[in-house]
Structure 1
Amino acid sequence: MATTARHAVPPVALALAHALSAAERGLAVIPLSRTKLPALPSPHRDEAGPAPCHGECGRPGHGVHDATTDPARVRELFAAAPWATGYGIACGLPPHHLIGIDLDTKSGTDSSAALRELALRHLFTIPDTVVVVTPSEGRHVWLSGPADVVVPNSAGRLAPGIDVRGAGGYLVGPGSRTDHGEYRTIPGTALLPPAPCPPALLRLLLPPARPEHPAGGTTPPGAGQGLVQFVLAAHEGQRNTRLFWAACRAYENGLGETLSHALIKAALTTGLTEREARATLTSASRLVRGPR
C-alpha cells in the first residue's frame, strides 16, 4: 500500500514564518542561532581594531542593528543564515518602543514575586499584555514605552532575577527554538499589543538620578562632548531618541544646564526644530530630576 512521505519543515523555515508574522505587527526582527545569539557573524570579525560600524557598511552581521520590519529584508537575512532556529525582536524601536521585563527562574529567586512586590510598593499593576514563556519556565513581559524615553538594558538592577531589555537589546521571539527548548506565548496573550508601561514602573527602569552638580563644584573642560557627538551622529528616525538619551545622561551627571545649549545646537544640526529639542530636554530633566 502506498504511503505519503512526510518531510519535516526545516527549523529556519519555521523561524522565518514566525519572524515575518512579528514583522507584520511592526516588530523589527533578526535571525538567531540555537544559542540565542545573532545568527549572522560580523562582517568585520577579521578586521584589526574595534569596529564601530552599526550597519552603515550595508552588509548584514551587525546584530540588533540589522533588525527590520521589511519582509524582503527579513527573508534576505534568514537566507544568509540557514542555520537559524529562532528570531530576536529589537527593543526600543518605533512603533512599539518595546521594553522587555525578563523574569528569570535560574537565579534561585522568585522573580515573579519580586515584580509583584515592586508593584505593591510603587503602586502600579502590570496590564494585560504579551507574555512569553521561556524553555526554563521564565517569563518575558512585553511593554510599550514612550517615544521620547530611552530605557537602558539592565541585569538585576530592578530586583534580583529581573533583567530589562531596552534600547539596543532584543527579546527571543515566540516560536524560536534553542538548545533548551521552545519559546511560546501564554494562551490568550499572543495577539495582544504590547501594553503601555505603567509610569511608576517606567521611572524604576531609568537610571537613578545623580547630584545636579559634580563633585568639587567645577566642570572639567570638554566634559560631556561625547554626548554632543552622540547626538550629532543621529540618523533620521533616531534624532529625538538620541537627544533624549544624551540629555538624560547629562542631567544624571550634573551637566544638564551646562550642556543644554550644545545639545540643542547639535539637535538642530540633525534636523530637529528648536521647539522639539527644548521639549525633549524638558522631558529628560523631568524624568531624571523629577518635577520642579
Structure 2
Amino acid sequence: MAITDRQTATLALAHALSAAERGLPVFPLSATKLPALRSPHHGEHPPVRCRGACGLPGHGVHDATTDPGAVRALFAAAPRATGYGIACGRAPHRLIGIDLDIDPAHGNDSATALRQLALQHLFTIPPTVTVITPSGGRHLWLTGPAGVTVPNSASRLAPGIDIRGTGGYLVGPGSVTHHGRYRLAPGTADLAPAPCPRPLLRLLTPPARPRRPAGPPSPARQGQGLVHFVLAAHRGQRNTRLFWAACRAYEHGFGDALADALTDAAVRTGLTEQEARAAIASAARLAGGRPEVP
C-alpha cells in the first residue's frame, strides 16, 4: 500500500487534530519528514526570509497551529501529507524534545549517554510521553518554563542526543514516513509531557557568551579548525564529520560564511558538491535556529 494513499492522509489529519486538541501546534509533513507545503516564496530572488508574516501557508514550523479549522485547511492544501510535525517551544506546553538516536554501526548508545549525564548532574527523567521512531530511537517530550528559550542542537550534550527546541519540531506519533511509522511507547499514551528537570534545563540553555572586544576574528579564521576536521575524514566518516562541523559553525553564528569552505573541504575528501551542500543545509535547519528535521 502506498504511503500517500487517501487512508494514510486521513489518519495523519486525525492524529494532527487530536494533538491540536491537547494544545500542541501542528502542521503537515511529507513522507520525508519535511514540511508538506511548498514555500510560497520558492524561487524568489533574492531569497525571502519570511516566517509566515505574508499570511500564506508554506512556512514549515511557522504554520503550526492548534486551531482545528486551520489544521484542516493546511492538510487540505497538502493532500500528500503522511504525517504531522509538532512545533516545540510554543505555549502552552513549550515542548522540548530529547531525541535519542540509535546508531549501532558507530557504537552510538545515546540512552546510556543520557543516563550518565543524569548521574553526573543529579537529575532523573520523569515518566513522560515517549515516541518510538522507525529506527528504534526515542523522542522524550518535556516541557519548559515561560521565558526560557531552549535552542536546537545536534550532539552537543553527547553523541546521538539531539535537542528540539524553539524553531524546531518533532514528528508526531501516528505519522508515516519512508522508513516507517512513529508510535507512542507502551504506557506513555495517557501521560502528559513532564517538566524538564532544572539541572537538565541548565544544560540545554548555556549562558550567553560575554561580549567580545571590537574587531573579532573573521568567520574564516574562526572556522579553520572545523575545515581541518572535515579534511581529516576517512571513508565512512565524511558525511558525519561534515554535518557535525556545519552544526558547530551555525551554532556559533558563522555557518553561512563558512559553507563554501566546508563544501570545498568535503569535496576534497570524496563527497560530491550536491551531497556536501545537502548535509550543510540540514545542519543549518537543525543547529542554526531554522525549522529542522528530527
Structure 2 match to 1:181: 180
What letter corresponds to residue 51 of structure 2 in structure 1? H
The C-alpha deviation readout for 1:210-240, integer Å capped at 9, x for no partner, is 3x4524xx699xxxxxxxxxxxxxxxxxxxx
Does residue 115 (structure 1) correspond to residue 142 (structure 2)? The answer is: no
- TM-score, normalized by length of structure 2? 0.69
Structure 1 match to 2:192: 193
Structure 2 match to 1:136: 135
* Structure 1 gap segments, 5+ residues each: 1-7, 221-251, 253-292
The C-alpha deviation readout for 1:93-119, integer Å capped at 9, x for no partner, is 000000000000035410000000000
**Which structure 2 residues correspond to residues 179-258 of structure 1 after superposition, within 5 A?**
179-210=178-209, 212=210, 214-215=212-213
What letter corresponds to residue 130 of structure 1 in structure 2? V
Does residue 26 (structure 1) correspond to residue 23 (structure 2)? The answer is: yes
Alpha-carbon distance, 1:174 to partner: 0.2
Shift in alpha-carbon separation, 1:59–1:9, aligned structure 2, 3 A:
closer
- Percentage identity across paired residues of the two chains: 71
The 2-side partners of 1:27 and 1:117 are apart by 30
Secondary structure, aligned partner of 1:23: helix
Cα RMSD over matched residues?
Answer: 1.9
Structure 1 match to 2:232: none
Structure 2 match to 1:77: 74
The C-alpha deviation readout for 1:9-46, integer Å capped at 9, x for no partner, is 62110000000000000000010000000000100002
The number of equivalent residue pairs is 212
Runs of 4+ aligned residues of structure 1 deviating over 6 Å after TM superposition are none
The 2-side partners of 1:213 and 1:166 are apart by 24
The 2-side partners of 1:208 and 1:37 are apart by 31
Does residue 50 (structure 1) correspond to residue 27 (structure 2)? The answer is: no
The 1-side partners of 2:206 and 2:56 are apart by 33
The 2-side partners of 1:208 and 1:31 are apart by 34
The 1-side partners of 2:130 and 2:194 are apart by 11
The 2-side partners of 1:118 and 1:104 are apart by 16
What letter corresponds to residue 127 of structure 1 in structure 2? P
* Farther-moved stretch of structure 1 (41-50 vs 13-22): 41-50
The 1-side partners of 2:67 and 2:60 are apart by 16
The C-alpha deviation readout for 1:178-218, integer Å capped at 9, x for no partner, is 001000011111121110000000010113553x4524xx6
Secondary structure, aligned partner of 1:26: coil
Secondary structure, aligned partner of 1:114: helix
The 2-side partners of 1:191 and 1:50 are apart by 43
The 2-side partners of 1:109 and 1:201 are apart by 21
* Farther-moved stretch of structure 1 (135-144 vs 47-56): 47-56
Shift in alpha-carbon separation, 1:36–1:108, aligned structure 2, 3 A:
farther
